[in-house]
């Protein structure tokens, strides 16, 4: 039924939806603290090199595979590789809901923090109390689940609307809003006294700090941030019109994602230095350190509201893409109505997220391999399933489906661009070897 398949109404729609998928908690919450604890400027340069070589090639492979087959990941691999390869698609259909389950829990935290900052509850609280409040909140048996439910309901609400009327319409509204908020916040952070030190830390490379771990951190961060390895971009690529230039779209999405990560670094790190906080403070940097910093700024409350709304919006447009993958699978392959597929999958992800949330508090004693449900799901997906998916898509497009996909990198009806051979080399050899090496190091 290719004719009844939905597609994005405009090129901008695809770019904003794919950028919405890429830009998320990974950019704003994770990137600054990973950069902060991995050597600042040296990490940044490594990250940029990886993103624009490996990341871009794998992203283009996903988009090309989706667009050529106009199918969800299972259908896409099946069409060009047969049943055996469809296992690679399956991996993605399973990974999406697994990520969404705990991603939505953190998405719920952003709503809680947005509400707290509106109510002024983060004002005049010292760092230690903020830390205790954060721990207290995430380990509470009830409140985080209510916010998790709210976040999942929003995600379902957008995906149920479909591709053009749901995903595209909301991305077109939310993504520009996100950019404006980021620029306002960066303007604020960069004009703080002492901000220059943070900028210098972030932008001055010190290569003596680069170790094997730094490279691993940069590669893992790049793949998560660009939404690679589980077919989110195969699925979005399947809604991309044939006349569009896939290579240019991939480049735009990669550039937007990287710009947001850089802006997030330029918000958080100058603020951290201006107030003498340790840039390597870890995952609490955004939820604990930042409210403390904002509180000491003029109009800090307004900026705190802005920041947490922004974080929630970024998380929402990413969550949408995680939900869309299984929904596309159920509607394409099993003929389910979008409404039913979205509600069933969303509810399922909510339920799976419950033990993830509880594992941070009430159920913290329940562990497998020493990890609670939340950490286990995070570990399995980002250290095992996403890299495996990345290797598979690179090998598949580079070796198996190359004759069909080689001209997909430009306009579908146009000539293959001259850089096609470099792309193939990346897919056949460089990306699989590099990713396998990262997986090895990570495990």
Considering the complex, what minimum distance in angstroms separates the CB of residue 433 from ligand TRP? 21
Q: Nearer Cβ to ligand TRP, position 353 or 410?
A: 353
Q: Nearer Cβ to ligand TRP, position 117 or 321?
A: 321
Considering the complex, what minimum distance in angstroms separates the CB of residue 85 from ligand TRP? 19
Pick from 328, 327, 326, 396: which is nearest to 77 by CA? 396
Mark residue 282 as left, alpha or beta (left: phi above 0; alpha: psi -120 to 50; beta: remaining).
left
- Residue in 72, 78, 227, 254 binding ligand TRP, rule: CB under 6 A: 227
Q: Which stretch binds ligand TRP (CB under 6 A): 63-71, 224-232, 337-345, 409-417?
A: 224-232
Q: Which stretch binds ligand TRP (CB under 6 A): 22-30, 120-128, 303-311, 367-375?
A: 22-30
- Residue in 86, 225, 258, 357 binding ligand TRP, rule: CB under 6 A: 225
Separation CA 429–CA 11 (nearest Å): 31
Is 264 an interacting residue with respect to ligand TRP (CB under 6 A)? no
Considering the complex, what minimum distance in angstroms separates the CB of residue 322 from ligand TRP? 5
- Residue in 20, 24, 81, 198 binding ligand TRP, rule: CB under 6 A: 24
Separation CA 74–CA 81 (nearest Å): 10
Considering the complex, what minimum distance in angstroms separates the CB of residue 225 from ligand TRP? 4
Annotate 374-441 with DSSP letters as a single string. Answer: HHHHHHIIIIIIHHHHHHHHHHIIIIISHHHHGGGGSBTTSPPPTTHHHHHHIIIIIHHHHHHHHHHH
DSSP 146: H
Considering the complex, what minimum distance in angstroms separates the CB of residue 25 from ligand TRP? 4
Q: Nearer Cβ to ligand TRP, position 130 or 222?
A: 222
Pick from 357, 30, 441: which is nearest to 224 by CA? 30
Tokens representing 260 are 């947001």
Is 224 an interacting residue with respect to ligand TRP (CB under 6 A)? yes
Pick from 220, 186, 184, 236: which is nearest to 65 by CA? 236
Is 387 an interacting residue with respect to ligand TRP (CB under 6 A)? no
Per the CB < 8 A criterion, the answer to whether 169 and 12 are in contact is no
Q: Nearer Cβ to ligand TRP, position 25 or 431?
A: 25
Q: Nearer Cβ to ligand TRP, position 52 or 402?
A: 52
Is 57 an interacting residue with respect to ligand TRP (CB under 6 A)? no
Q: Nearer Cβ to ligand TRP, position 214 or 225?
A: 225
Is 222 an interacting residue with respect to ligand TRP (CB under 6 A)? no
Per the CB < 8 A criterion, the answer to whether 235 and 5 are in contact is no
Neighbouring residues of 127: CB distance < 8 A, sequence distance ≥ 6: 288, 289, 292
Is 230 an interacting residue with respect to ligand TRP (CB under 6 A)? yes
Is 158 an interacting residue with respect to ligand TRP (CB under 6 A)? no
Is 108 an interacting residue with respect to ligand TRP (CB under 6 A)? no
Is 101 an interacting residue with respect to ligand TRP (CB under 6 A)? no
- Scan residues 305-364 and list those touching ligand TRP (CB under 6 A): 318, 321-322
Separation CA 409–CA 64 (nearest Å): 6
Per the CB < 8 A criterion, the answer to whether 66 and 232 are in contact is no
- Residue in 60, 64, 286, 386 binding ligand TRP, rule: CB under 6 A: 386
Separation CA 212–CA 217 (nearest Å): 9
Pick from 93, 2, 72: which is nearest to 348 by CA? 93
Per the CB < 8 A criterion, the answer to whether 324 and 332 are in contact is no
Each residue 176-215 as x (binds ligand TRP by CB under 6 A) or -, in order, gives: ----------------------------------------
Q: Nearer Cβ to ligand TRP, position 230 or 266?
A: 230
160-169 burial, b at 16+ Cβ within 10 Å, e below that, comes to bbbbbebbbb
Q: Binders of ligand TRP: how many residues, by CB under 6 A?
A: 16
Q: Nearer Cβ to ligand TRP, position 254 or 357?
A: 254
Separation CA 8–CA 244 (nearest Å): 11
Each residue 26-55 as x (binds ligand TRP by CB under 6 A) or -, in order, gives: xx----------------------------
Q: Where does this chain bind ligand TRP (CB under 6 A)?
A: 21-22, 24-27, 224-225, 227, 229-230, 232, 318, 321-322, 386
């Amino acid at each position: 039924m290719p004719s009844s398949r939905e597609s994005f109404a405009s090129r901008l729609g695809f770019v904003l939806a794919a950028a919405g998928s890429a830009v998320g908690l990974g950019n704003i919450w994770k990137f600054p603290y990973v950069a902060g604890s991995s050597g600042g400027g040296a990490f940044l340069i490594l990250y940029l090199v990886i993103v624009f070589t490996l990341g871009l090639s794998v992203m283009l492979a996903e988009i090309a595979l989706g667009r050529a087959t106009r199918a969800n990941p299972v259908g896409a691999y099946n069409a060009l590789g047969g049943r055996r390869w469809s296992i690679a698609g399956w991996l993605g259909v399973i990974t999406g809901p697994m990520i969404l389950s705990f991603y939505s829990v953190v998405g719920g935290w952003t709503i809680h923090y947005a509400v707290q900052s509106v109510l002024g509850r983060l004002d005049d609280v010292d760092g230690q109390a903020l830390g205790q409040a954060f721990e207290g909140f995430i380990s509470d048996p009830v409140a985080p689940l209510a916010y998790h439910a709210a976040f999942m309901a929003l995600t379902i609400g957008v995906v149920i609307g479909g591709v053009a009327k749901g995903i595209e319409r909301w991305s077109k509204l939310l993504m520009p809003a996100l950019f404006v908020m980021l620029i306002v916040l960066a303007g604020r952070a960069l004009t703080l006294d002492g901000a220059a030190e943070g900028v210098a830390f972030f932008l001055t490379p010190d290569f003596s700090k680069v170790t094997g771990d730094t490279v691993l951190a940069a590669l893992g961060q790049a793949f998560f941030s660009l939404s690679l390895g589980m077919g989110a971009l195969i699925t979005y690529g399947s809604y991309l019109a044939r006349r569009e230039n896939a290579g240019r779209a991939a480049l735009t999405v990669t550039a937007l994602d990287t710009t947001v990560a850089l802006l997030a670094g330029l918000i958080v790190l100058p603020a951290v230095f201006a107030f003498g906080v340790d840039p390597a403070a870890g995952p609490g940097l955004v939820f604990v350190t930042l409210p403390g910093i904002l509180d000491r700024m003029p109009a800090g409350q307004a900026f705190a509201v802005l920041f947490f709304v922004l974080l929630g919006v970024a998380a929402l447009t990413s969550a949408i893409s995680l939900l869309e993958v299984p929904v596309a699978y159920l509607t394409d392959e099993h003929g389910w109505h979008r409404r039913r597929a979205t509600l069933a999958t969303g509810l399922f992800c909510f339920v799976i997220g419950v033990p993830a949330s509880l594992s941070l508090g009430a159920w913290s004693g329940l562990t497998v391999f020493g990890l609670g449900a939340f950490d286990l799901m995070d570990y399995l997906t980002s250290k095992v399933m996403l890299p495996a998916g990345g290797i598979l898509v690179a090998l598949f497009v580079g070796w198996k489906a190359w004759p069909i996909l080689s001209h997909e990198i430009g306009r579908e009806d146009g000539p293959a661009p001259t850089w096609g051979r470099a792309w193939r080399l990346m897919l056949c050899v460089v990306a699989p070897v590099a990713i396998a090496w990262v997986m090895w190091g990570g495990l």
